[in-house]
Amino acid sequence: MRDNVNLSACSAKPGEVYWRDPAKRSPPVGRKLLLLTDGGVAVIGLWHKDGGFQAWSPLPKRIK
């Protein structure tokens, strides 16, 4: 069944999206992001340096 999956409508195929390390790539200021907490839970919010986050990723975009 997996061979019949149509991934052409996906904005990013599985395995192409990664969490970004804030020490290597600073997150944008004042923008909503996917945030990975120190406990390993993904949340949506604004990045705070001392907010208890270990990684970030931009929000996915919709096809308009």
Instruction: Answer yes or no: is 42 within a domain.
Output: yes
Residue 62 lies in a domain: no
Alpha carbons 62 and 64: distance in angstroms, whole number: 6
pLDDT attached to residue 2: 55
Residue 34 in any domain: the answer is yes
pLDDT at residue 12 in the model: 65
Instruction: Establish if 33 belongs to a structural domain.
Output: yes
Q: Judge whether 32 and 59 are in contact, CB under 8 Å.
A: yes
Q: Is residue 63 part of a domain?
A: no
Quick check: 25 pLDDT over 60? yes
The answer to whether residue 49 sits within a structural domain is yes
Q: 12 or 33: which carries more pLDDT confidence?
A: 33
Which residues, in sequence order, are CB contacts of 63 under 8 Å at separation 6+? Answer: 9, 11
pLDDT (0 to 100) of residue 20? 95
3-state secondary structure at position 3: helix
Range of the domain at 35: 16-54
Number of domains, the chain: 1
Evaluate whether residue 25 is within a structural domain: yes
CB atoms within 10 A of CB 7: 8
Domain-located, residue 36: yes
CA separation for the pair 13, 49 (Å, rounded): 30
